[in-house]
């Protein structure tokens, strides 16, 4: 009976395409963002609330509201999520292809906000993400400077390696090799050179791939990197997971 009444109601009063959130229209992104922020404040679970603010910050950054995005970090309680939000803002901004001055201002603000993170591991992660975002935005000098400021050796090496990977994927083999050159650990360097050699080979930058492969000091990794270059040049049941 209730199902019949429901169907009858829908047939008599069909959806007209005008349903909308109170005070918002679907095309008004600013209004919807404001609604999300208001709802986020009502979420009792800390993890869920932090994650919601993180996604909101990424969207604001993608829409060009960098200050609004950064301001949301103060509402996030978990240090790790604060670091991930910094990453999200930086990566979203990198996609916008802004002027250098705009990126300089943004990354300065992100760095200042990262300095407020009191949890050392999360702070280091935040710096790594800032360096990665700078590399994505084409700010190699900024990425190198951010990575160099990291006190933890392993995380600093990782930041340089991540930066090199981004640069190689962007086709900048020279910058990628320079990033790896800053790594003081032979193990981290070998790992980075092997990955860069693969990325460049896949991009058919065989000269760059060879340079990275020849820089390897681990015989096993070096042999496999060189083999990979040959296999990409002339495929024959290539196994690409070296």
Which of residues 142, 167, 199 is at a domain's end? 142
- 106 and 172 assigned to the same domain: no
- 163 and 136 assigned to the same domain: no
- 108 and 158 assigned to the same domain: no
Residue 71: what pLDDT? 97
Longest dimension (CA), the chain: 78
Q: Is residue 11 part of a domain?
A: no
Q: Is residue 23 part of a domain?
A: no
Q: Is residue 174 part of a domain?
A: yes
Residue 236: what pLDDT? 76
How far CA 15 is from CA of 10, 20, 22, 26, in Å, comes to: 8, 12, 17, 16
User: Distance (Å, rounded) from C-alpha 161 to C-alpha 144?
Assistant: 11
Q: Is residue 18 part of a domain?
A: no
User: Distance (Å, rounded) from C-alpha 83 to C-alpha 53?
Assistant: 12
pLDDT tens, 50-79?
999 999 999 999 999 999 999 999 999 999
Which of residues 81, 110, 142 is at a domain's end? 142
pLDDT tens, 95-126?
998 999 999 999 999 999 999 999 999 999 99
Query: In total, how many domains does the chain have?
Result: 2
Average pLDDT, the chain: 90
Q: Is residue 19 part of a domain?
A: no
Question: For residue 27, what are the contacts with CB-CB under 8 A and spacing of at least 6?
Answer: none
Q: Is residue 21 part of a domain?
A: no
Check: CB of residue 156 under 8 Å from CB of residue 147: yes
Least confident of 15-19, 80-84, 182-186: 15-19
The pTM of the whole model exceeds 0.75 = yes
- 127 and 37 assigned to the same domain: yes
- 171 and 191 assigned to the same domain: yes
Residue 239: what pLDDT? 58
Which domain does 136 fall in, by range?
30-142
- 73 and 163 assigned to the same domain: no
- 135 and 156 assigned to the same domain: no
Which of residues 142, 168, 201 is at a domain's end? 142
pLDDT tens, 8-63?
444 554 544 444 456 789 889 999 999 999 999 999 999 999 999 999 999 999 99
Q: Is residue 22 part of a domain?
A: no
Residues 148-167 have a mean pLDDT of 95
- 169 and 121 assigned to the same domain: no
Residue 2: what pLDDT? 47
Check: CB of residue 212 under 8 Å from CB of residue 200: yes
């Amino acid at each position: 009976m209730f199902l019949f009444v429901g169907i009858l109601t829908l047939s008599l009063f069909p959806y007209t395409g005008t349903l909308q959130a109170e005070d918002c229209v679907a095309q008004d992104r600013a209004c919807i963002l404001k609604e999300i922020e208001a709802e986020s404040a009502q979420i009792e679970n800390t993890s869920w609330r932090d994650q919601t603010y993180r996604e909101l910050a990424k969207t604001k950054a993608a829409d060009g509201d960098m200050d609004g995005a950064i301001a949301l970090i103060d509402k996030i309680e978990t240090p790790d999520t604060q670091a991930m939000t910094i990453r999200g803002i930086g990566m979203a901004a990198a996609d916008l292809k802004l002027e250098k001055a705009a990126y300089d201002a943004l990354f300065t603000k992100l760095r200042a906000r990262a300095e407020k993170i009191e949890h050392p591991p999360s702070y280091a992660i935040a710096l790594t993400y800032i360096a990665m975002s700078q590399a994505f935005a084409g700010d190699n000098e900024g990425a190198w400077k951010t990575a160099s400021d990291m006190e933890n050796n392993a995380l600093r090496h990782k930041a340089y390696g991540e930066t090199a990977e981004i640069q190689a994927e962007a086709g900048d083999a020279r910058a990628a090799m320079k990033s790896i050159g800053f790594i003081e650990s032979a193990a981290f360097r070998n790992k980075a050179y092997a990955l860069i050699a693969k990325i460049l080979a896949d991009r058919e930058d065989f000269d760059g791939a060879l340079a990275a492969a020849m820089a390897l000091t681990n015989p096993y990794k070096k042999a496999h990197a060189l083999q990979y270059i040959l296999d990409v040049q002339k495929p024959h049941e290539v196994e690409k997971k070296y």
